[in-house]
Structure 1
């Protein structure tokens, strides 16, 4: 019963990295316990777990703030990036005019843009959402544009011969063809939205009820509370992993029955 389960590729993809992670945590715990390394230098996994339990209210409240900013930024990036990609595929001139500016925003570090955005936008939450969106929008825009353009020339000629309108070509040919590219962009963009939210929180330094996990990391660093810092980092990592898994599941749901990229 157990052996066939272990031979299942889906189970192996989950069990293999999970087993390795548990082994590394065990080595970390035992080796640091034997060497008596102080907790204010590098905490043991047990110290991090105790900090997460004792500070659960603070940590999960901050996690909700960071997650809210991430999801709002990600949603805005998906909507705006997809709509702009639809415009670009209809006009090479517009794409040539505006794509360099999209690249300019992508290659400019968010830590250089965030102070300006925070000054210009008085609402702190909205400013953080805008900063995170600027980080996350580029993969959606470029991947979707590439997918919309990468249609089979024969199929495109067939649509044109049958006098299909631009709307029909877009919705019945270009959009289905772009879905694998779009979901690839989602998997990249969700992580970038989280990174943008955390970096923006670092720059803003917003405390109080609107304090995210980045603020808790800063405070823990000032107080040399490394278990709390590692606990906040762990929650950020788990959030990023969870977002990636959700996007992968969505890709599997929409593409599994017809596209080779999701077929086992």
Structure 2
């Protein structure tokens, strides 16, 4: 019975969301056709897919720009967040001194910061990258630091008893303990880096060929090409889903078999 339950769960895990999404899009298409809603108000999913297919060549370059900025910002946020969290774990004074700056980055609306960054950098691409990094940085820092602080007190005392150095404690005890927290923060930061890249490009008003999907969405809206706007939105959404699934798979790969958050 237990083996049968374990075999059914993976199938249900994929079948349930696929069924729900299929019902949603079928209802959307049916509603558009039943009420005869014009495409310039709400295109049906079939028209959106057809538009995406017809315009994929023109959208692919902008999609790659958005993906490149998103992944670069996420990589910088991951490196900086983990490094700073490790430094905070080793030095309380450093944590007390720099935490206010990290909190300010987190609570300041990115829409308010983007114009200022645009003035300082004089580059739309740099503005978008910095904004995406700001949005993604704090979840990695906060989650990793929470993981480093969650090590078992008895094990910490054992390491002290054996006179382990701070670096040894960090490497062999704190980092393995923080791994599930870090992966959780990475999932959040992955989506936020994409959101930050799109929102920053909206705010910066970037235009031209070497710009991301946000510019294509704005152009389609100005020209009342609503199906094309939805097609660009579909690409943004699919990118976010792909990032989420990638980190879900990474989490299962690293945690399955030894951590409770990922069962065997």
Q: Which residue of 1 aligns with 2:80?
A: 80
**1:28 CA drift (Å):** 1.4
- Within 5 Å, which residues of 2 pair with 1:150-229? 150-229=150-229
- Shift of the 73–7 alpha-carbon distance from structure 1 to 2, 3 Å rule, reads same
Query: 1:199 Cα shift?
Result: 0.6
Take 2:74 and 2:31, find their aligned partners in 1: how far apart are those partners? 40
SS in structure 1 opposite 2:43? Answer: coil
Q: Counterparts of 1:92 and 1:193 in 2: how far apart (Å)? A: 28
After TM superposition, the structure 1 = structure 2 runs for residues 24-39 of structure 1, keeping only pairs within 5 Å, are 24-39=24-39
Decide which moves more: 166-175 or 23-32: 23-32
Q: Does the aligned pair in 1 maintain the 2:220–2:229 contact within 8 Å?
A: yes
Q: How many residues align?
A: 261
Contact 2:114–2:200 (Cα < 8 Å) also in 1:
yes
Q: Is the 8 A contact 2:147 2:179 kept in 1?
A: yes
The answer as to whether partners of 1:111 and 1:200 remain within 8 angstroms in 2 is: yes
Please state whether the residue corresponding to 1:27 is helix, strand or coil.
helix
Tell me the distance in 2 between the aligned counterparts of 1:12 and 1:30. Answer: 26
TM-score when scaled to structure 2?
0.95
Quick one: distance in 2 between partners of 1:49 and 1:215? 20
Measure how far apart 1:147 and its partner are.
Answer: 0.5
Indicate conservation of the 8 Å contact 2:106/2:138, yes or no: yes
Counterpart check, 1:112 vs 2:109 = no
Whole-Å separation in 1 of the counterparts to 2:23 and 2:95: 50
Following superposition, the deviation at residue 209 of structure 1 comes to: 2.4
SS of 1:262's partner is: coil
In structure 2, the residue matched to 1:135 is 135
Distance 1:203 1:140 in 2: 24
For 1:62-73, list aligned pairs within 5 A: 62-73=62-73
Which whole-Å deviations, capped at 9, do the CAs of 1:158-197 have from their partners, x for residues lacking one? 1111111111100000000000000000000000000000
Under a length normalisation based on structure 1, what TM-score does the superposition of the two structures give? Answer: 0.95
Secondary structure (helix, strand or coil) at the match of 2:151 reads: coil
User: 1: CA distance between counterparts of 2:235 and 2:132?
Assistant: 18
- Structure 1 runs, 4 residues or longer, greater than 4 Å off: 4-7
Tell me, what secondary structure is at the counterpart of 2:261?
helix
- 1:148, 1:174 within 8 Å by CA — same for their partners in 2? yes
Alpha-carbon separation, structure 1, partners of 2:153 and 2:30: 61
2:17 pairs with 1:13: no
Distance in 2 between residues matched to 1:210 and 1:114, nearest whole Å: 19
Of 6-15 and 152-161, deviating more is 6-15
User: 1:255 corresponds to which residue?
Assistant: 255
Match of 1:52 in 2: 52
Contact 2:124 2:201 in 1 (8 A): no
1:92 Cα deviation after fit: 1.1
Alignment match, 1:239: 239
Stretches of structure 1 lacking an aligned partner (at least 5 in a row) = none
The offset of 1:46, in angstroms, is 1.5
2:38 match: secondary structure? coil
